A = this chain, B = another copy of it.
Amino acid sequence: MTVTSSTTVRVRYAETDQMGVAHHANYPVWFELGRSDLMRALGVSYTEVEARGYYLMLSGLHVQYRRAARYDEELTLETTVGEVRNRRLVFSYVLRRGDELLATGTTEHVPTDKSYRVARIPEDILEKLRGA
């Protein structure tokens, strides 16, 4: 089963740069909003993961930018869970403005404990992330 959530992102003025478009470093911030929404929808919020003693540290980030986004535009971000293993999580992202594809991306995560040591995520959390 593939689980996807949808997040609306409105481009902030502070996110623009002197090119007149949203600066590319905002995309991973938006992806994080999508991840937050998806995890909440799956019944296991980020906040809960941290409360149980885990961080989902980023190990990889990939973004393909197709078209620029402008101030005040409303964008739609679709977030999907990819791999879910106890030492590796992958999420993928599709950003659109209406029907137009603006960007795609993936993030890879390694679960750690609060001392930043690699850790196994408990099985009940993994099951929720799998949408099971």
Partner-B contacts on A (CB < 8 A)? 12-14, 16-21, 23-29, 32-33, 36, 45-47, 50, 55, 57-66, 68, 71-72, 116
**A33 partner, pick from B12, B24, B68, beta carbons under 8 A:** B12
Q: Residues of B contacting A12 with CB < 8 Å?
A: 29, 32-33
Number of this chain's copies in the complex: 4
In angstroms, Cα B20 to Cα A15, docked, is 13
How far in angstroms is the closest Cβ of chain B from A11? 10
In angstroms, Cα B24 to Cα A29, docked, is 9
**A23 partner, pick from B14, B19, B46, B63, beta carbons under 8 A:** B14
Supply 24 A–B pairs (Cβ within 8 Å), ascending by A: A12-B29, A12-B32, A12-B33, A13-B18, A13-B36, A13-B46, A14-B25, A14-B29, A16-B17, A17-B18, A18-B18, A18-B19, A18-B21, A18-B71, A24-B28, A24-B58, A25-B25, A25-B26, A28-B28, A46-B71, A47-B72, A57-B68, A60-B64, A61-B65
